[in-house]
Each structure stands twice: as C-alpha cells, then as structure tokens.
Chain A
C-alpha cells in the first residue's frame, strides 16, 4: 500500500486569501487525484493531477479556482484560490499505481475553514 501525507492537516483562513495543500506519496504512483468533501457530504472528485502537464478537471471545477501542480510522480499540490466560506471542506488527495482497477489510497485530508 502507499502511504500518503498531506500538509497542512487543517487551517483557518480569511475570505479572499489562497491556501496551497501539499500531498506526498511514499512511492512512485501513476495516478494522483484531489477530492473535496463538504461538511456532512460524500467525496467529489475535483481533478486528476497529471505529472508534467495540466490537471484534468471535473465538471464544476476550474483551474483558476483550483490550480494543481504535479512536478513528479510522488508529489502534488492543490491551491484553493480566492476563498469564500463555501470552500470550507476537507480536501483529500489519493493515489493509485495504475489505470483501471488498482487499490486507491487516500491521504488523511486537510480540513479547511474559511471565515
């Protein structure tokens, strides 16, 4: 299994600011993803982080709001830009070693509160 760490684990931010969340995997993986879990809700996929190229965003999510980087096979960042209280959520990264079926492991999440 892959061990995934995220930083920060939680943060409280002011409206209009931006926060960058880091995700580190302990071994090389093929796929990395970013999910959002709004309070009391299920997980929704934000985007697939592609190594060396632009991320692939799901419907309803845009690069200007959620810029993503993935400079190598073990690291990715998600920035939540120009935050509003509606962005208060848990943000989780996940990884898998291949396409199709593979066990997908999740980081512990970053709990973001926007005031």
Chain B
C-alpha cells in the first residue's frame, strides 16, 4: 500500500524560510497536495503539483518535486506566526478515484 512520511516537528524563527519535507513510496502518484490544519480547524488546501512538474511557486509557497527520489517539499518564505500549524502532504495515484493518502503531518512552530 501507499506510504507517505513526514518529519513530525519543525521550529523556525519568524522571517526565516521553512522547508517541510515529504516522502512517498507509490511511483504511480499523479497529484500531490499540501494542506494546512490550524488548531481546532479543518484542512485548508494550500497548493498542489502534478507529477509531471518539478516546481510550482505560489506567492510565498514553493513546491519542489523530485519524482526520482519520491520526495516532495514545501518551502514557505518569510515565515510568519500565522503559519504555525500542522502541514500534511497528500497524494492521489492513478485509479483511486480521488482518494487521498495523507502523510503523517509536520507541526510547524514559528518563534519570535
């Protein structure tokens, strides 16, 4: 079955860049997503990338995909205290009819 792994915790200073990493095992992953979950809230879709892309930039967010190594990363530039949350990567692969497989989640703590 699919396996999506993330590091559990990341702490950065306000204003620095954050890089959250994700590895996956299923080579047929077609779409990869990043979601944000703030305390007590649901999931907010941040961005996504197709598997035929290497990079996608959206304002402060940059997604890098290394398909050979099955490695996905999310870079947040100029990290703010409002970015403190849990970040989940998720993937859909061919033939699963939109079913998302989520990573274990990374808790980002932004300090002053």
With the chains together, A31 CA to B40 CA distance in Å?
25
Contacts of B41 in A (CB 8 A): 108-109
Interface set, chain B 80-112, CB cutoff 8 A to A: 88, 92, 97-105
Residue pair B105, A42 in contact (C-beta under 8 Å): yes
B contact face: mostly helix, strand, loop, or mixed: strand
The answer to the question of A39 belonging to the interface, with a C-beta cut-off of 8 Å to chain B, is no
With the chains together, A94 CA to B45 CA distance in Å?
11
Residue pair A107, B42 in contact (C-beta under 8 Å): yes
Q: Take A43-B88, A103-B48 as given contacts and tell me if A108 and B98 are in contact as well, using a CB distance cutoff of 8 Å.
A: no
Closest Cβ of chain B to A55, distance in Å, is 13
Residue pair B42, A101 in contact (C-beta under 8 Å): no
Residue pair A42, B88 in contact (C-beta under 8 Å): yes
With the chains together, A37 CA to B82 CA distance in Å?
23
Work out how many contacts link A and B, with CB atoms closer than 8 A.
Answer: 60
Q: Which positions in B face A, CB cutoff 8 Å?
A: 30-31, 33, 35, 40-45, 48, 50, 88, 92, 97-105
Contacts of A106 in B (CB 8 A): 35, 42-45
Additional A-B contact list (10), CB under 8 Å, known A43-B100, A99-B98: A33-B99, A33-B100, A42-B102, A45-B99, A45-B100, A48-B97, A48-B99, A92-B42, A103-B48, A106-B43
Residue pair B42, A108 in contact (C-beta under 8 Å): yes
Which of A42, A45, A101 lies in contact with B30, CB distance below 8 A?
Answer: A101
Residue pair B97, A31 in contact (C-beta under 8 Å): yes
Chain A contributes a number of interface residues (CB within 8 A of B) equal to 25
Chain B residue nearest to A110 in the complex (CB): B42
Q: Take A99-B97, A104-B45 as given contacts and tell me if A42 and B104 are in contact as well, using a CB distance cutoff of 8 Å.
A: yes
Which 7 residue pairs are nearest across A and B when measured between Cβ atoms?
A108-B42, A106-B43, A43-B102, A42-B102, A101-B31, A106-B42, A109-B42
12 contacts between A and B (CB under 8 A): A41-B105, A43-B88, A43-B100, A43-B102, A45-B101, A58-B99, A92-B42, A104-B45, A106-B35, A106-B43, A106-B44, A109-B41
The 8 A CB mask of A40-53 against B (1 = contact, 0 = none) is: 01111100100000
Q: Take A106-B42, A109-B42 as given contacts and tell me if A101 and B103 are in contact as well, using a CB distance cutoff of 8 Å.
A: no
